[in-house]
Amino acid sequence: MLKLENIDFSYAKQKILHEINFHLKNHEFIGIIGPNGSGKSTLLKNVSKLLDPDKGSIYLDRNLLNDYSYKELAKKMAVVPQDTKVNFNFTVYDLVMMGRNPYQDRWGRISQKDKEKVKEAMELTDTAKFKEKSIKNLSGGERQRVIIARAIVQEPELLLLDEPTASLDINYQRNIFDLISDLNEELEMAVLAVSHDLNLISQYCERLILLNKGKIHSIGEVEEVITKENISDVYNTQVDIKYNPITERPYVIIIPRQKNNQKIKEHDFKVHLICGGGTGKDIMNILNDLNIGVSTGVLNRGDSDWEEAKRLNYEVVEIPPFAPIDEYAMQENKEKMKDADLIIISDTPFGWGNLDNIKVLANFEDKDILFMMNNDIEKRDFTEGKFTELYKKIKENNNVNEIHSHKKLCNFINTKYEGIFYG
Amino acid sequence: MENKINYFYIILAIILLLFVVGILSLSFGSINLSPIRVLKILFFDQEVRQSLNVIIKQIRLPRVLLSFLVGAGLSIAGVVFQGVIRNPMVDPYIVGISAGAGTGVTIAIVLNLQISFLFFSTIPLMAFFGSLITVYIVYNLAKTKDKVPVVTFLLAGVAVGFVLNAIMSFFMVIGTRDLSKIVYWLLGSLSTASWHDIKLMLPYFIVGNFIIIFFLKDLNLILLGERDAQHLGVDVEKSKRFLIIGASLVTASVVSVSGSIGFIGLIVPHIARMLVGPDHKKLFPTAAILGGIFLIISDDLARILLAPMEIPVGIITALTGGPYFIYLLRKTKKEIW
C-alpha cells in the first residue's frame, strides 16, 4: 500500500527525518510514536504530500506519490488532522459532503451516490443526529467524528491520522479509536496514525514505529517496540511495562520521581557507583534527579551502564569491551572512590572480571558504603564464594548500609545526608 | 432542504429589491418621472419626448448599470479575497488593492497610455497589474509561515497603501496637466458614467468573474484551511492564484471606471454571509446583487442629498463602511464569519 524508501527531510537545513524506511501493507494499522520533536508529524506530512522529502521515494500502490494529482490522491488517501477547529457556519452535512470533492466536477454538483455515501458515513460515525447543526456548535469529540466521516466519504484505501485524540477526554479517545479500528477491520482501510499517547495507540495498532530524533528507533509488533529499554532509551525517563489484562497489549507506566525532590546544596557531595550490565541505570537517574555528582567505574566500554553514564556526562573509569580490569584502571578507580563521600554498589553480579572493583573497597575503612540488595548475595556471586567473603569483610570494617529497592535510595540519601539539601 | 428553499426566497427577494431600486433610481433626478413612465420608456419605447428618452437611456441608465456593476464587482472581490486569505476583515480598498489599481491608472493617464485593442483597453489593464502587484506584496508581507494573521495583513495593506498614495501623488505632480482628471477619478465617483465606461470595463469584469466562478467551489474548501483543502483534492496554490487573479481583474475593471470606492467589499460579503451562510456558491450571487443594490442606493444619495451638487459616492460608502469596519474589529474574530 505505502512504501517509504530512504526518506530524508529537513526544515531550513535542520535535518528532521533521516533514512526512514518502512512498508505499510494493505489493510494494516501502524502507529507512529516518539517524543516531541522526533519527527512524527513531519513524517506524516511527507506521506500526505504536504511536504516533499529531500531524498528518497514514497510509493503509494506502486506509483510514486508525486505522480498523483491532488484529486487522485484524495480518492486514495484521507487525512484526519490534529486541530480541526472550523470557525465557519457550515452545517455538519455540508462539511461531510466536502469529502466528496474529489469525485465531483468543477461545479460541485451532488450526485445520488454522493448523498448515499454521506448518509452511510454519518450513520457509521453516529453523526447523523446533528447533521443540520453548525459545525461550530459541536464539542471536540463530536467534531472529530464529523471529520472522520468526511474522511470516510473520500472512500480512501489509506487513512492518515495526526494525533486524532490529542485534546479529547478518555471516553472520546476510546470512541474515536474504536471507530478507527472498525474502519480498519470492516472497511479494510490501511491506517497510519501518529500519537504521542503510547498506551492508547498500543491497544489498537498492529505494528508500531518508534521514532527518535528523526530516525526509526525500532519498528515491529507492539510487544517488540514497547519495551522498558526502548522507552527509557528514547524518552529518557524511568518507566515500567505492564500488560493490559484484557487486550494483553503492553502499556507503559511512569515511575514518578521520588517525593523528595530537593536539589542538593553543595556540589562537593559525590557518589562513586560500582555497577555494570544495566544495573546502575536507575541509580544514575535517581542521583541525577537529586543533582548529585557521580563517578563510576570500572566499566567496559559499550556496557549499557557505560552508555548511560556517558549520556549523563559522568566521570567513568573505562576499559575496552570484555577486557578484565587492569592495574591502571584499578588505580584510577581507587582515586575516584577516595574522592567520593558515598560508594554505592549496584545489584550487579560479580565474576572474576569485575571482582577487583570490590577488592579496592576493603582499603577504605570508615567510608560510607551502600549495597543494593535486590537479590541474594549468593546469587550474585560467580567467584566461588570469593565475592561473598569480600562483602563480609567490608561489612566489618566500614560503615556499610544495605537497601533492597531503588525506591528507598532516595529516602536513604535524604535521611542520612540531610544537611546537603536545600530546605 | 430547508436551507435551499430559504436560499431561493432570499435570492428572489433581493432580485426584486434590485429591480425596484433600479427603477426608482431611474425616476429621480433633476427631472422626476413616475416609475411607470420610466418602465414605458425602457421597455416599450412609448416616449414621444426625445429629451426624456436621452435622459433615461443615455444618462441615467448607464449610471445605474455602472453603479450596479461596480458595487457587484467590489463585493465579489471582497468575497474572494476574504475567502482566499481566510480573513473577514479584508476588502480590496482596505488592503491597498484599490490603491494599487489606482496607481496603475494614474501612471496610464500621466504617461498617456490610453490605447484600445478590440474590446480591451489599457487603462483597466494597468489597473489590473497595479492591483496584482499590490496583492502579491501585501500578501507576502503579511504571511508568517503558513498563516496570514489579520493584524499583519491590515498593517501591510495600510503600509503599502501609503507608499502607493505617495507614488500616485508623485505622478500627479509630474503630470499637472492631467491633475483634475486624476483627482476627480480618485475621489471615487460615478457622475461621469456613460455607455463608454461600461464598454471599457465589461470585458475585464466578465473574464475576471469567469475565472472566479470556475474556482468558486475550491473556495469553500480553502476556508477549512489550506491543508484540509489539499487533502480533499484541491490544488490549493493553483486555485488561490487563479482566484486572486480573477478578483484582481474584477477590482481593476471596476476601479478603472469609478475610482476607489471603499468598504463595499467589506460590508456586503458580511451581510450576505449572515443571510445565506458561508457556502460560496450561494454567497457569490447574493453578495454580487446586494453589492450592486448597495452602490445604486449610495449613488442615489450622492446625487440627491446636496442636489444639484453631487457628493462623490466614495464619501457616502466610507461614511457608512468606516463605522461598520470599526464595529467588526471590536467583535471577536470567531463571531464574524
- pLDDT confidence tier of residue B206, bands split at 50, 70 and 90: very high
Residues of B in contact with A48 (CB under 8 A): 231
Averaged pLDDT, B131-148: 80
List of chain A residues with pLDDT < 50: 260-261, 423
- pLDDT confidence tier of residue B284, bands split at 50, 70 and 90: very high
Contact criterion met (CB < 8 Å) for A70 and B221: no
The distance of B333 to chain A (nearest Cα, Å) reads 9
Residue for cell digits 464595529?
Answer: B327
Examine the pLDDT at B173 and tell me if it is beyond 50. yes
- pLDDT confidence tier of residue B147, bands split at 50, 70 and 90: low
Burial group, residue A192, by CB count within 10 angstroms (0-12, 13-18, 19+)? buried
Contact criterion met (CB < 8 Å) for A89 and B231: no
pTM: 0.73
Rounded CA separation A93/A122 (Å): 8
Contact criterion met (CB < 8 Å) for B233 and A107: no
Supply the pLDDT for residue A141.
85
Reported ipTM:
0.79
Supply the pLDDT for residue A267.
59
Higher pLDDT, B47 or B325: B325
CA distances from residue B135 to A189, B9, B101, B226, B262 in whole angstroms, order as listed = 43, 36, 10, 18, 16
Strands (E), chain B: 116-117, 120-121
The distance of A200 to chain B (nearest Cα, Å) reads 25
CA distances from residue A227 to A14, A200, A232, A239 in whole angstroms, order as listed = 30, 15, 8, 9
A92-96, A343-347, B97-101, B249-253: least confident range: B97-101
208-227 in B: which are within 8 Å (CB) of A? 214, 217, 220-221, 223-225, 227
Burial group, residue A2, by CB count within 10 angstroms (0-12, 13-18, 19+)? buried
A265-274, B110-119, B206-215: least confident range: B110-119
Supply the pLDDT for residue B145.
65
Supply the pLDDT for residue A146.
92
Averaged pLDDT, B303-311: 81
Rounded CA separation B308/A108 (Å): 50
Contact criterion met (CB < 8 Å) for A101 and B233: yes
Scanning A37-187, the segments in alpha helix (DSSP H) are 40-47, 70-76, 92-97, 112-124, 140-153, 170-185
What is the edge-to-edge ordering of all strands in the sheet holding A368-372?
A: A315-319, A293-300, A270-274, A342-345, A368-372, A399-403
**Nearest CB to B234; choose among A70, A79, A81:** A70
Burial group, residue A196, by CB count within 10 angstroms (0-12, 13-18, 19+)? middle
**Nearest CB to B233; choose among A50, A71, A107:** A71
Supply the pLDDT for residue B1.
41
**Nearest CB to A89; choose among B217, B236, B277:** B277
Is the Cβ of A89 closer than 8 Å to some Cβ of chain B? yes
Sign of the dihedral defined by the CA atoms of residues B140, B145, B150, B155, in that order: negative
Higher pLDDT, B272 or B90: B272
Rounded CA separation B70/B288 (Å): 10
Testing the interface with A: which of B224, B227, B279 to mutate, by most A Cβ within 10 A? B224
Question: From the CB of residue B235, how many other CB atoms can be counted at a distance below 10 Å?
Answer: 15
Residues of B in contact with A74 (CB under 8 A): 231-233
pLDDT digits (tens, 9 = 90+) for B48-74: 677 888 888 888 899 999 999 999 999
